[in-house]
Structure 1
Amino acid sequence: MMRVYACITQQHDLWLVLLAGAVCGFGAWVSLNLARRAAAAVGRARRGWLAGAATATGGGVWATHFIAMLAFRTSLPMGYDIGLTVLSSLIAIGGAAVGIRHAIGGGRLAAPLGGAIAGAAATAMHFTGMAALQVPANLQYDPAYVAVSLGLGVLLAGAGFTAALRIGSLKGLAAGATLLTLGICGLHFTGMGGVTLIPDPLHDLSDQIMEPGLLAVAIAATATVVMALGLAGAIVDQRLAARTAHEAARLRASEERFRQLADATTEGIVIHRDGVVLDVNRAMAELLGKPQADFIGRSMLRFVVQNRRSDIERKLAHPTSERVELDLLHDDGTLVMVEAHGQDITHEGRPARVVAVRDIRERKRAEERIRHMANHDLLTGLPNRSLFLDRLNGALTSAGRARTGVAVLYLDLDRFKAVNDLLGHPAGDRLLQEAARRMLEAVPSHDTVARLSGDEFAVLHRIAQPGEALALADRLVKALGAPAELDGQRMVVGASVGIALFPQDGSGAEALLQHADTALYRAKSEGRGTFRFFEAAMDERLQARRGLERDLRQALADGALSVHYQPLEDCRTHRVLGFEALVRWNHPERGMIPPSEFVPLAEESGLVMQLGEFVLRTACRDARSWPDPVKVAVNLSPVQFRHSDLPATILGILEEEGMAPHRLEIEVTEGVMIDDTERALAALTALKTAGVRIALDDFGTGYSSLSYLQKFTFDKLKIDRSFVQLMAENRESLSIIRTILALAKSLDIAVTAEGVETEEQRTLLKNESCNQLQGYLIGRPVPASELARFYEPA
C-alpha cells in the first residue's frame, strides 16, 4: 500500500493525477448515466444509447490512463507506440460495450457481471497501454500488484454498475460513479506501483512513436468526446426529466379526474388484481357502509354473501364480461343486491380488473311491484282473475290426486252501484276495500280471495264436505251484510253468493267459475243477501238471459229498436194533448219482446243510460213535427237518476234536437225517490226549473207517495191502471180514485188515468172530473208515422 502511495506522490505530477481522477470521475458519471438510458430504451434507441455509453466508458478509462502516464516522472525519454495506443482504446471501448450490454440485459446478476466485464476490459486496456510505453528500459511487473489491480478493477466496476442500475435515484448514480472511479484509478495506480523500470540502452524501440505532446492532443480529443457525450446526456436528461415531470403531472391530473369521475358516479367501482382489492370509489364505500380504506388489500369474497362465494371465486378465476347479479354484505349485516360486470385494465403498470357495481335493490322492488300489479288488484291488494285461475287450477290438480273437494264461491255486492252513485267513486272504493278486509277475515288463510272486476269477488275454498262451503258462504253473507260507516253515513250493502263444487259441478277452473256465477245470478234474482248452489237448470236460464243481453246490446248499436207513441186526451173535449213514448224491440228471431222483459235487463246490465238516451232523443226528434201544444212524455228509470249528470244530458238533448223544454214531460216512479231522495229531488228540481214538466207515475201503488208530494211539486199524477180497471166493479178502487182526484185538485196538480179501455171507464172518470185519459180506448201505441190521425197537422 505504501509502495502505491509512494508511486503516486514521488513518481507522478500530483496536478495531473488530480486531472486524471477528475476525468475518470466525469467519465464514470457520464457512462453510467448513458447506461441507464440504454436500459430504459428499446430497439434502435437502445443501441444508440449503448454505443454512447460504451464510448464514454472506454474513452474515459483510456483518457484517465494516459493522463496518469503523462503525470509519470522519469529521467528516461518516453514515447508511445501508436498501434498499441490505438488498440488500447479499442479494447476499452469494446470491452465496455460488452459489459454494459450484459448489465442492462435483465436478470439478478446482470449488473454485477456486466460491471465486472467492463472492469476486466479496463484492466486489459491498462496493461495494453503500458505495453505501448516506449522507453529505453525493461518493464518488470510484480505479479501480486498485477493481481490486486485486476481485482480492484473487476470488483469495484461490478459494484458501481450494480449501484447505478439498481438504485434508480441520483444517489444510486453518484454511488455507482464513485465506485467505478475508484476501481479504474485503483487498478491504474496499483498496477503502476507494481512496475519497475530497468534502464537498458540497447532496448529496441518502436519505429512509430507518439510524442507526449501528440498524446496530450489525443487525450484532449477523447476528453472532449466524453464531455460531449456527457453534455448530450445532460440535455437528454433535462428533457426527459421535463417530459417525465409533465407526464407525471398529466398522470396525476388524469388520476385526479378519474378519481373525481369515479367518486361522482352513482355506481360502485372496484379495482382488483386476482381478487384482491386495490382501490374503490366513494359510491362503493357508501353502498356497503364502510370506509374506503377497509376495502384495500382485502379479498373481494369477504364482501360477498356466503352462499355465493364459491360461484364468485370461479368467476374471478375465469373472468368474463357478462353481467352477474349477487348479494353483497352491508356493514350492518343486511344484504345489498347488486349487478356487477368487469373488464381488464392496466393499473400502475400491471394487469388488473375494474368492476362496476350497480345497486339494483330499487329495480328489484319495482320488478316485484310490477309482478304484484300483474297478478293483484291495485285497489284491494287481492289476487286478480289471472292469479285466481292459476291457483284454482293448482288446487284442482291437487284435489284430483287427493280425491278431495274444492268450492268456488262467486260474490257480488248487492247495493254497491247505489252507494257508488250516491257517495261517489272514492266512497265506493273504500267500500270495496272494507268488503275485501271482511272477506279475508272470514276465509281460512290457506284459501284465496280474489277481486274479479267491479264489485265481483271469488273465493277458492278447499273442502272435504259440501257443508263446509255452505258454512263459509253463510259467514260471508253475514260479514258483508253488517253495516258500514262511509262518509258519516251508515250503509248496509249486503252480498249474494253463488257456489260451484268440484268435481260434481265441473272439472275445469273456467267451468267452475262460470257455474258459480250462474248460481250467483239465481241468488240475486231470489231476493239477494243469500247464497245458492249451482244446479244444471240454472245454466240454461242464465245462457238465455246472457243471449238476450247480447242481442239487446247489438240492437242498440245497430239502431234496431223503435219508439211507439200512445196518445193522451183531454177528458172533457177528447182532444189529444200529447203522447207517451214507449220503446219497442222487434227481435229478428223472437219477434216483439215486451219492455217488461228487456228494460229490467238493461238496468241490470248497465245499458239503461244508452237505452234511455235513445228513447229521449228519438221522441224529441219526432215531436218537432207535431203541433206546438202537443207534448211528449218519456219515462225515466231509477237507475238513470244515479248519474249526477242526468239533467245536463236531458237538457243537452233538447237543445241539440231543437225542442222547447215545456213540451217535454218526464215520468218517474217513487222508486226514483227510494234509491236516493236528495239526489233525485235535486235532479227533478233542475229539470223543472228549465221548464220540463214532471209527472209521478203509478201513483197510489207505493208506500210513501204522499210524503213525496210534500217534498216536490209535481205537474201531474198518473193513476195506476190497476185502480182504473176495477173501478166499475170495485167500490174501494173508485174511492181511491176519488181521493186521488180530490187531493190533486187541492194541490192544483193535473191527473192522468192510465189503462182506460171501455166507455164506462171513460164516463166514470169524466164524471169524477179527471183531467186526462190514456189507454187502448183512446189509442194503442203506434209508430210516429201513424200519429197524424190523432191531431190536426201543424
Structure 2
Amino acid sequence: MMRVISCVTMEHNLWLVLVAALVCSAGSWATIRLFLRAHEATGLQQIGWHFLTAVSAGSSIWCTHFVAMLAYDPGAPIAFDPVLTIASLFLAMAGTAAGFIAATGHAPRIAPIVGGIILGLAISGMHYTGMAAYHVDGIVEWDTTYVVVSVVLSVLFSCLAINVALNDRISGHKYLAAAILVAAIVSLHFTAMAAMQVTPLALHGDYTNPAALRAMALGVAVAGLIVIGTGLASYLIDDRTRSEAFRRLHHLAMNDTLTGLPNRANFNEYLDREIDRARELGGKVAIIGIDLDRFKEINDLWGHGAGDLALKTLAGRMSALLQDGEFVARLGGDEFAAIKRMKGQADLLDFVSRLEAALFAPIRIDDFEAAAGASLGVAIYPTDAHNRETLVNNADLAMYRAKANVTQTVCFYEQAMDEAVRANRALANDLREAVENGQLDLHYQVQTSVSTGDIRGYEALLRWKHPTRGNIPPIEFIPLAEENGLILPLGEWVLRTACAKAASWEHPYKVAVNLSPVQFAHADLPKLVHEILLETGLRPNRLELEITESTIIADKNRTLTILRRIKALGVTIAIDDFGTGYSSLETLRAFPFDKIKLDRSFMSEVETSPQAKAIIRAVLALGQSLHIPVLAEGVETHSQLSILRAEGCNEAQGYLLGRPAPFGEIFALMHGHNGIAATALAAPAQAVA
C-alpha cells in the first residue's frame, strides 16, 4: 500500500492526476447512467444504449489511463507506440461492451458477476496494452505481485459496481456504483504503476518536454470529456423526452380528450382525496351529478360536430366558474360531475346556482342557438354516504329523480324518495341477467270467434319469474327494458320464440306478438321479421304483429313505411288498446290495419256504464264499415260475451275463454278451449239496450 501511495505522490504530477480523476469520475457517472438505460431498454434501442455505454466507458478508462501515464515521471525520455495506443482504446470499448451486455443477461444472479469479471479484465487489458505502447529509455522491471493484485482489484470492484447499479433497493445506488467503478479504474492503474520500476539508461541528454506532455494530457482529457458529454447528452435528451412523453400520457389518461376536463379516473382520485380531507378535518364534501337533457336533440338536429361543440362550450363555462375547493369532470357522453368542498349550505347552493347558469345559457351553433339544459343530483358526504361509491350512486339517484321531474332541475338525495329509483335500477340489472341467461318465458292466451267459439289464434305474452321476487308483471319490467336498452334483444327473442313455437303447432292458428315503440325507432323491423319467418318456417299469414297508437304518433311517415313493408311480406297488423289515448278515425284510414283490438278497460265497465257500451257499439260499427274485424280484450264474464255477440263483435280474448299459460299446457288443453268457448256462447244472452 505504501508503495502505491509513494508512487502516486512522488512519481506523478498531482495536477494531472486530478485531471485524470475528473475524467474518470465524469465518465464513470455517465457510464452507469447509460448502462442502466440499456438494462431497461429492449431490441434495437438496447443495442444503441449498449453502444453509447461502451463508448463512454472505454473512452473514460482510456483517457484516465493516458492522462495518468502522462502525469508519471519515469526520469527518462518516453514515447508511445501509436498502433498499440489505438488498440488499447478499442480494447477498452469492446471489452466494456462485452461486460455490460453480459451483465444484462437472462440470469439475474450470475449475469452481473460474469459481466463484472469481463469488465474488470477489459480495464486490465486496456491498461497493460497501453503500457506495452509506453516506451521509456530505461530498464523496466515488473513486480508480479502488484500486477496480480491490480487485476484482482479491478475485477472485484467492477463486479461490485455492476451489482450495486442493478440493485435499486440501495439508496443512491447509481452514485455509489459510479464511485465503485472509479475505484476499479483507479486501483488498477496506480497499483499497476506501483508494479513498474524504471531504471533510466540515459544519464545526460534531452528529456521529453514536460510542457508538451501536460498539453497533450489536457488535450486528451478534453477530448475524453467531449466523448463522455456526448453520451451523457443523449441520455439527458432521452430522459427529457421520456419525461415529456410520460406527462403527455398521464394527461391523456387523466383528462377528457374532447373537452380537456378531468376524466372519470381523475374525478375518482380527487374525490377520494377530498373525502379523506373531510374525514380528518370534520368537513363536508358535496358531489353534483350532471346529465344534459337535450344533448341528443342537438346531435340529431345539427350533427355530431355540433354536439362536440356544445360539450366543449359547456366544459369551458364550467371550468371558468370554478373557485377554490371546486372541481368539475366529464365522466363520459353527456354526463358530467362536480365536487364542492363545503363550509355551509350557502356555499353549495351558490355553486349549484353557478352551474345551472352555465348549463342553461344558450349555445351558439352556426346561425342557430340551442340550450342543452341539464338535470342535477346532489349528495353530501358524510350526511348521505360514507364512501365514494355510495356517494356517487346517491348523487346519480337524485339526478335521475330530477330528470323525471319536469318542474325541477336540481334534486338533493333523499333516502326515502330515491329508494324506489334504486330498486328499479337493481331490477333492471336483474332483467339484463335474465335476458342473457334465458330466464324469461312465453305464455299464450287464446283468441276465439265470438259467434262460433272456434280458436282463431293465440297472443304470445312475455313472462318473467324472478329468482327471489317471483313473478314480475310485464307492466313493471317492460318499461324498464325500454328505458335500459334491453327491449331490442328482448323483442327479437319474443318474436323468434313465438314464431318457432307456432310453426310446431298441429293446427295452423295465428300467433300475435306485441311490438314496442322502441323497436320501430331503432331496428329494421321488416328485415328482422323476414329473417325470422325464413328461419322458423312459419307462414307469414300466421303471424300478427300488434302495435299501439302511441307508436304511430312518434313518427307517422316512418311507421307507415315500416308497416307497408311488413304487410308486403304477408304478415297482418293489429292496432292494440284501441279506444284509449290517441285513437282517431284518421289512424284507421291512413294505416293498413287488419284488426282492431278493443281495450280491456271498456269491457270492465260495459255491464254498468252506458257510455262504455255505446263506445263498444261505435267501434264495432266502425270496424264493420271499414271491413276491419274487431277483437275485444278482457272478457271475463258470460254477460260481457253475450253483449259482444249481440253487437256483432268478431273475436274475443280474456280469462273467461282462457288464461295465459305455457305452451305445453296450451297444447294439452287445446281441444278443451273449444269446449270452454262453446259453453260460454251457449249461456243466456244479455239484453242489449
Q: What TM-score range do you get, normalising by the shorter chain? A: 0.5 to 0.7
Residue of structure 1 equivalent to 2:492: 613
CA 1:598–1:40 in structure 2 vs 1: closer, same or farther (change >3 Å)?
Answer: closer
Specify the alignment match of 1:701 in structure 2.
Answer: 580
Give the distance between the partners of 1:40 and 1:774, measured in 2 at CA: 112
SS at match of 1:742: helix
Instruction: Verify the 8 A CA contact 1:654 1:660 in the aligned structure 2.
Output: yes
How big is the shift at 1:777? Answer: 1.6
Q: Return the match for 2:322 from 436, 440, 445.
A: 445
The aligned counterpart of 1:631 is 510
From 688, 705, 722, the equivalent of 2:601 is: 722
More RCO (CA 8 Å, sep 6+): 2
Partners in 2 of 1:475 and 1:521 — Cα distance?
21
Counterpart for residue 640 of structure 1 = 519
Aligned-partner Cα distance in 1 for 2:334–2:558 = 22
- Whole-angstrom CA distance in 2 between matches of 1:364 and 1:381: 21
Equivalent residues in 2 for 1:644-793 (5 A)? 644-703=523-582, 705-788=584-667, 789-790=669-670
Structure 2: how far apart are the matches of 1:645 and 1:487? Answer: 33
SS of equivalent residue, structure 1 residue 339: helix
Shift of 1:729: 1.8
Distance 1:38 1:369 in 2: 54
Q: Would you say the 8 A contact 1:380–1:433 is kept in 2? A: no
What do residues 70-108 of structure 1 show as CA deviations (whole Å, max 9, x unaligned)? xxxxxxxxxxxxxxxxxxxxxxxxxxxx99997775337
Q: How many residues align?
A: 479
1:427-452 per-residue CA deviation (whole Å, 9 max, x = no partner) reads: 46753652563365257323333232
Q: Give the SS at the match of 2:285.
A: strand
Per-residue deviation at 1:596?
A: 1.3
Residue 666 of structure 1: how far off its partner (Å): 1.5
Structure 1 unaligned residues grouped into runs of 5+: 1-36, 48-97, 111-270, 280-314, 326-337, 341-358
**Which runs of 5 or more residues in structure 2 are unaligned?**
1-78, 85-130, 136-199, 213-218, 674-689
**Contact 2:563 2:592 (8 Å CA) reproduced:** no
For the residues of structure 1 that align with 2:399 and 2:598, how far apart are their CA atoms? 37
Distance 1:790 1:415 in 2: 51
Structure-to-structure mapping, 1:471-482, within 5 angstroms: 473=352
- Contact 2:259-2:311 at 8 Å conserved across structures: no
Using structure 1 for the length normalisation, give the TM-score: 0.52
Does the 8 Å contact 1:662/1:692 carry over to 2?
A: yes
Aligned equivalent of 2:433: 554
Corresponding residue to 2:209 among 100, 107, 110:
107
| Secondary structure at 1:639 match in 2 | helix
**Matching residue of 1:434:** 310
Aligned-pair distance for 1:784?
0.8
Aligned to 2:336: 457
TM-score (norm 2): 0.59
Structure 1 residues 430 and 744, CA gap change in structure 2 (3 angstroms) = farther
- Is the contact between residue 602 and residue 616 of structure 2 (CA under 8 Å) also seen in structure 1? yes
- SS of the residue corresponding to residue 106 of structure 1 reads coil
Deviation at 1:731, TM superposition (A): 2.1
Q: Deviations over 1:446-473 (max 9, x none)?
A: 3333232444322223343335545655
| 1:390 equivalenced with 2:269 (yes/no) | yes
Decide whether the 8 Å contact of 1:496 with 1:528 is kept in 2. Answer: no
Aligned residue in 2 for 1:377: 256
Q: Once the 2 structures are TM-superposed, how far is the Cα of residue 786 of structure 1 from its aligned partner? A: 2.1
Q: Structure 1 residues 383 and 624 mapped into 2: Cα distance closer, same or farther (>3 Å)?
A: same
In the alignment, residue 208 of structure 2 is paired with which amino acid? Answer: G
User: Does the aligned pair in 2 maintain the 1:647–1:686 contact within 8 Å?
Assistant: yes
Match of 1:339 in 2: 238
Contact 1:418-1:675 at 8 Å conserved across structures: no
Q: What secondary structure does 1:586 align onto?
A: strand
Residue 579 in structure 1 maps to residue 465 in structure 2: no
Moved more, 772-781 or 670-679: 670-679
SS at match of 2:496: helix
Which letter does structure 2 place at the counterpart of 1:385? R
Aligned to 2:393: 514
**Separation (CA, whole Å) in 2 of partners of 1:753 and 1:635:** 16
Q: Deviations over 1:667-707 (max 9, x none)?
A: 12233234444444443333222222222211221136444
Query: Could you tell me which residue of structure 2 aligns to residue 156 of structure 1?
Result: none
> Identical aligned pairs, as a percentage?
43
CA distance in 2, matches of 1:651, 1:499: 48
Instruction: Tell me which amino acid in the other structure corresponds to 1:790.
Output: M
Give the direction of change, closer, same or farther, for the CA distance of 1:40–1:617 in structure 2 (3 Å limit).
closer
Closer, same or farther in 2 for the Cα pair 1:101/1:383, shift >3 Å? same
Counterpart CA distance in 2 for 1:473 and 1:568 is 57
SS at match of 1:553: helix
CA gap of 1:321–1:473, structure 2 versus 1, over 3 A, is closer
Aligned to 1:593: 472
Aligned partners of 2:263 and 2:470: how far apart in 1?
41
Following superposition, the deviation at residue 536 of structure 1 comes to 2.6
2: CA distance, partners of 1:572 / 1:490: 61
Task: Say whether the 8 Å CA contact 1:566–1:782 is kept in structure 2.
Answer: yes
Pairing partner for 1:502 from 342, 365, 381: 381
Please say which of residues 694-703 and 467-476 is displaced more in the overlay.
467-476
Secondary structure of residue in 1 paired with 2:238:
strand
Question: Shift of residue 579 of structure 1?
Answer: 0.8
What is the distance in 2 between the residues matched to 1:744 and 1:104? 134
Distance 2:626 2:366 in 1: 37
Residue equivalent to 2:12: none
Query: Is the contact made by 1:404 and 1:464 (CA closer than 8 Å) also made in structure 2?
Result: yes
Partner amino acid, structure 2, of 1:445: L
Change (3 A) 1:374 1:46: closer
SS of the residue aligned with 2:289?
Answer: strand
Q: State the Cα distance separating 1:780 from its structure 2 match.
A: 0.8
Q: For 1:113-124, what aligned pairs fall within 5 Å after superposition?
A: none
Q: Is the 8 A contact 1:39 1:104 kept in 2?
A: no
**Structure 2: distance between partners of 1:741 and 1:106:** 130
SS in 1 for 2:256: coil
